[in-house]
Amino acid sequence: MKNILVLCTGNSCRSQMMHGYLAHMLEGKASIYSAGIETHGLNKRAVAIMKEDNIDISGHTSNHVAEYEGIAWDYIITVCDHANENCPFIPAPAAERLHHNFSDPSKLNGTEEQIHAAFEKTRNEIREYAAELVTRAF
């Protein structure tokens, strides 16, 4: 079974969404982990926007990348520029490293409608990226 690590800054939003989609789309064909270079806790709006797409991430936890030391990674996916630029070295010579910077909807200030739209846009972009990866790699 392949091991996939999804990294973000705080493991609260974008990496959690990607984790949810990959776990759903791969249905046991890979072990999916998500982590951050910091931990910020699970973002309640990320949980809600994923639930709108019938993906339950409410049981996920916010984990630090150091917690997964020693796992043989097949894929390491960074979903924000900050994590890509500041992640500590992860010894994984066989891993395919992928990067895509998704906008961070948790940073947006605005009306509830604007914030919801930002979360929805990021979620949909992550879903599309995850589907492309699954099609290409599995």
Find the catalytic residue in 5, 8, 17, 18: 8
Active-site pick, 80, 95, 126, 133: 80
Contacts 24+ apart (CB under 8 A), 52-61: 52/120, 53/123, 53/127, 55/20, 55/21, 55/24, 56/20, 57/16, 57/17, 57/19, 57/20, 60/16, 60/19, 60/20, 60/34
Q: Any catalytic annotation for residue 80?
A: yes
Q: Which of 42, 77, 87, 130 is catalytic?
A: 87
Residues forming the active site: 8, 80, 87
